[in-house]
Amino acid sequence: MSETTDSPATIVTGVIGSDVHCIGISIIEYGLKKAGFDVVSLGIQTPQEEFINAALETAAAAILVSSVYGHAQLDCRDLRGKCIEAGLDDILLYLGGNLAVSSETPWEDTRAALEAMGFDRVYPPRVAIADVIRDLRADLALAPPPDERSAVVHTTDEAP
């Protein structure tokens, strides 16, 4: 069994590139705060460098990137490489939003392309916040909060 910790982690969030869609990431940030994470919110139209600088300044454990206007593959190009260059070798990178350029593109192709760019997890538009938080806790080896330790967690993977 792997070791877990109760310490809150700092998470950097923002909407990458020229994207101004702010509602989705605000909902994610609300969920993160409610789950006990410290959130450093960079807002809309955030350049890659700002994500990296904020993560360095706050010793963040993860960067959660939002991209809603369809240009994720362009805006996120080499983000992982720049993180490594800055010394953030092990930082978790999550990406969510409307990630396909076209609605014709199968989701699994989009996910595979973005994972190949270095994201640890890539989420479709209708992801449940509970699933993102569960993944973060698992990836950061954080213990579940006391009131959830014996609770059943329902995920979007389950049949209704």
- Name the residues that contact ligand B12, by CB under 6 A: 18-25, 27-28, 64-66, 68-70, 94-98, 101, 123, 125, 127, 132
Cα torsion angle, 77, 93, 66, 60, sign: negative
**21 catalytic residue (yes or no):** yes
Nearest approach, Cβ of residue 127 and ligand B12 (Å): 5
Nearest approach, Cβ of residue 128 and ligand B12 (Å): 8
**19 catalytic residue (yes or no):** yes
Nearest approach, Cβ of residue 129 and ligand B12 (Å): 7
- ∠ CA(154), CA(13), CA(97), 5° rounding? 60
Residue of 6, 19, 75, 109 marked active site: 19
Nearest approach, Cβ of residue 107 and ligand B12 (Å): 12
Which residue lies nearer to ligand B12 by CB, 70 or 144?
Answer: 70
Which residue lies nearer to ligand B12 by CB, 137 or 149?
Answer: 137
Best CA proximity match to 37, nearest among 139, 105, 160, 136 = 136
Classified as helix, coil or strand, 49 is helix
C-beta of residue 96 within 8 angstroms of C-beta of residue 64: yes
Structure tokens that stand for 76 in this block: 């996120």
Which residue lies nearer to ligand B12 by CB, 24 or 118?
Answer: 24
Rounded to a whole number of angstroms, the distance between the first and last alpha carbons of the chain is 30
Classified as helix, coil or strand, 111 is helix
Q: Which residue has the tokens 């993560």?
A: 55
Residue of 6, 21, 75, 139 marked active site: 21
Which residue lies nearer to ligand B12 by CB, 66 or 150?
Answer: 66
Active site positions, annotated: 19, 21
